[in-house]
């Protein structure tokens, strides 16, 4: 039974550098160790990424050059002492090579991890930009709809305007100059549905002027309300509304 800490073999396993007892023991360990499973998956992805990044197509003439040199370079047979050194060195080399490979994979993973992190940051930025673009298009669609109707109210030291499009069945709340909500609080929008309040999303607490596409369809709501709620919002209002507006006909 191997006495090696199995958690340290993820790199060697990824590069198929384990054999026999260690390979069997590690696979048994891997089946129940989530952290090692994640490392193996990351190392595998990184190794594949590096392989793609460093692959170079050889010149067609290289094959002919290698075959030609094979016929002209004589291999000197080693003596008995040399053979013994090779055997001893081979045993040590396999052990050292295994750990060297693991170290290389670990280093590659660190480099690859940075690349993946940079890629994820860039991808997140692209996703956020696409989301912002869709939000702006949806807001503009409601505001520019031929059947758009509006109603305004003073709220939190500023002003707010509710714009509703029946054809789109959506509403936008546009705020100007609203005071920042108390620390740890947020303004939450609600649709009034038959005496019940249905959450319609949160306003950005760091912006006094903004246009918010209210979440969900208007769906026959008679009005909207704005309350001050704990950060993250609430399932139902926990404070009296600071503003109420009827849905414009």
In angstroms, the CA 21 to CA 83 distance is 27
pLDDT digits (tens, 9 = 90+) for 172-200: 998 888 999 999 999 999 999 877 899 99
- Give CB contacts under 8 A, 24+ apart, made by 150-154: 150/248, 151/245, 151/246, 151/247, 151/248, 153/243, 153/244, 153/245, 154/243
Spans of all domains in the chain: 6-135, 148-246
* Lookup: tokens for 7: 């958690």
pLDDT digits (tens, 9 = 90+) for 28-41: 888 888 777 766 66
Percent of the chain whose pLDDT exceeds 70:
60
Q: Given a cut of 60, is residue 77 above it in pLDDT?
A: no
Q: Average the pLDDT over each of 110-119, 167-176, 191-200 and give the range with the smallest value.
A: 110-119
Strand 210-213 and strand 243-246: the pairing is: unpaired
What is the average pLDDT across 194-218? 90
Query: Among 166, 133, 134, 132, which Cα is nearest to 150's?
Result: 166
Query: Quick one: pLDDT band at residue 139, thresholds 50, 70, 90?
Result: confident
Q: Given a cut of 80, is residue 166 above it in pLDDT?
A: yes
Q: Given a cut of 50, is residue 55 above it in pLDDT?
A: no
In angstroms, the CA 75 to CA 188 distance is 81
Query: Quick one: pLDDT band at residue 53, thresholds 50, 70, 90?
Result: very low
In angstroms, the CA 88 to CA 76 distance is 20
Q: Greater confidence, 158 or 107?
A: 158
Query: Quick one: pLDDT band at residue 59, thresholds 50, 70, 90?
Result: low
Q: Average the pLDDT over each of 58-62, 138-142, 209-213 and give the range with the smallest value.
A: 58-62
Query: Quick one: pLDDT band at residue 88, thresholds 50, 70, 90?
Result: low
Full-model pTM: 0.52
Q: Given a cut of 90, is residue 230 above it in pLDDT?
A: yes
Which range, 23-27, 197-201, 205-209, is most confident?
197-201
């Amino acid at each position: 039974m191997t006495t090696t800490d199995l958690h340290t073999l993820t790199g060697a396993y990824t590069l198929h550098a384990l054999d026999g007892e260690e390979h069997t023991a590690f696979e048994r360990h891997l089946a129940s160790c989530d952290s090692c499973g994640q490392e193996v998956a990351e190392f595998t992805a990184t190794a594949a990424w590096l392989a793609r990044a460093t692959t170079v197509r050889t010149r067609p003439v290289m094959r002919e050059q290698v075959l030609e040199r094979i016929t002209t370079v004589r291999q000197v047979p080693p003596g008995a002492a040399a053979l013994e050194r090779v055997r001893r060195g081979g045993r040590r080399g396999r052990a050292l090579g295994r750990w060297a490979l693991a170290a290389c994979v670990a280093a590659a993973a660190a480099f690859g991890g940075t690349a993946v992190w940079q890629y994820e940051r860039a991808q997140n930025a692209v996703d956020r930009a696409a989301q912002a673009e869709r939000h702006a298009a949806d807001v503009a669609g409601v505001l520019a709809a031929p059947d758009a109707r509006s109603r305004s109210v003073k709220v939190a030291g500023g002003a707010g305007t509710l714009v509703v499009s029946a054809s789109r069945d959506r509403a936008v709340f546009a705020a100007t100059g609203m005071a920042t909500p108390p620390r740890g609080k947020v303004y939450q929008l609600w649709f009034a549905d038959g005496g019940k309040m249905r959450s319609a999303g949160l306003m950005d607490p760091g912006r006094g002027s903004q246009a918010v596409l209210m979440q969900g369809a208007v769906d026959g709501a008679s009005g909207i309300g704005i309350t001050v709620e704990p950060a993250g919002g609430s399932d139902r209002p926990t404070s009296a509304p600071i503003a109420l507006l009827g849905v414009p006909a």
